[in-house]
Amino acid sequence: MVIVLHFAGSVKEYADAVPFPGRFFPIPGRCPHPDCQALGSLIGWGIYLRWACLGDHEYRIQIQRLRCKACGRTHSLLPDFLHPFRHYVLALLQHVVSLYLLTGLSWERLLRQLPEAGPARSTVREWLDSFAYGAGELLLGMLTHSLLLLEPLAELPDTVPEHLARITNPIRRRRLMRAYRFWLLAERLYAQVKLRQPRLHFAEGQLFAFLLHWLQSQHLPPRLFWSPALPHTPTTPFEVQPPVFDKIKQGHLAGS
């Protein structure tokens, strides 16, 4: 299980840290698995290596692994500049999605905005399809419900940009339209949570990082990108669980 933790520095600072950068993160006091939640049960359980790719540069970084003495499950401390199961940094993923979803750039113009050694066209398309499925199919209903708990009179977006309406594939068009609504509502959610936590701060390019923390605080997988082509991808939308309603109302964001 992934535990997303906030890292205020750069990817390079994390990669260059000596000794092991896991020292940046204190071991959480409670097992994060909803069926366990044991206090003081987590211990260090080694490290593993993974890539953090910026598009024009890549780093091989260390990820701290933990083990719960109570339930035996292992967990990873993931810095929030990364998304689970993605090699490219989260800021680049957000940048690409925004260029297509919000700005409406064509494929050719979008790719010209990326570093020359950056992701291939097929990779970018997979990102967009995975975000459209994750945000549009799995998370939109849950996020809408959660926002309305904080802002009952919120006006929900009912229009979509023309560039999305022109997409010919009806399934892809529907998912991207819903993902567009998800983005607008996510910005509103951040504003509402920040009202309740004035010290909370995520920069403009960190909306996705905020959402990973927020999903985690709702005891949901901290993932926005879910490939619909993989067999383990959920097929039914996520729902807010009753035990976390009070945390939503209070604007409590775990790990911030």
User: CA-CA distances (angstroms) from residue 100 to 39, 131, 149, 161, 187?
Assistant: 44, 11, 30, 11, 17
Look at residue 6 and tell me whether its pLDDT is greater than 60. Answer: yes
Read off the tokens for 126.
Answer: 């997979």
pTM for the model: 0.92
**Phi and psi (nearest 5°) for 95?**
-60, -45
195-222 pLDDT per residue, tens: 999 999 898 889 999 999 999 998 899 9
Look at residue 254 and tell me whether its pLDDT is greater than 60. Answer: no
102-157 pLDDT per residue, tens: 999 988 899 899 888 789 899 999 999 999 999 999 999 999 999 999 999 998 98
Which pLDDT belongs to residue 103? Answer: 94
The amino acid at 43: I
Look at residue 84 and tell me whether its pLDDT is greater than 80. Answer: yes
Which pLDDT belongs to residue 36? Answer: 93
Region 39-43: mean pLDDT is 94
Considering only CA atoms, which of 177, 224, 206, 215 is closest in space to residue 95?
206
Which pLDDT belongs to residue 210? Answer: 97
Which pLDDT belongs to residue 40? Answer: 93
Top pLDDT among 204 and 14 is at: 14
Look at residue 42 and tell me whether its pLDDT is greater than 60. Answer: yes
The amino acid at 125: R
> CA-based Rg of the chain, rounded to a whole angstrom?
18
Look at residue 22 and tell me whether its pLDDT is greater than 70. Answer: no
Look at residue 256 and tell me whether its pLDDT is greater than 70. Answer: no
227-253 pLDDT per residue, tens: 999 999 999 999 876 554 455 555 566
Q: Which range, of 13-22, 51-60, 166-175, 217-226, averages the lowest pLDDT?
A: 13-22
Which pLDDT belongs to residue 129? Answer: 96
Average pLDDT, the chain: 90
Which DSSP string do the residues of 215-248 spell out, in sequence order? HHHTTS-S-S---TTSTTS-SS-----GGGHHHH
Which DSSP string do the residues of 99-133 spell out, in sequence order? IIIII---HHHHHHTS-TTS--HHHHHHHHHHHII
Q: Which range, of 11-15, 96-100, 115-119, 220-224, averages the lowest pLDDT?
A: 115-119
Considering only CA atoms, which of 176, 165, 177 is closest in space to residue 228?
176
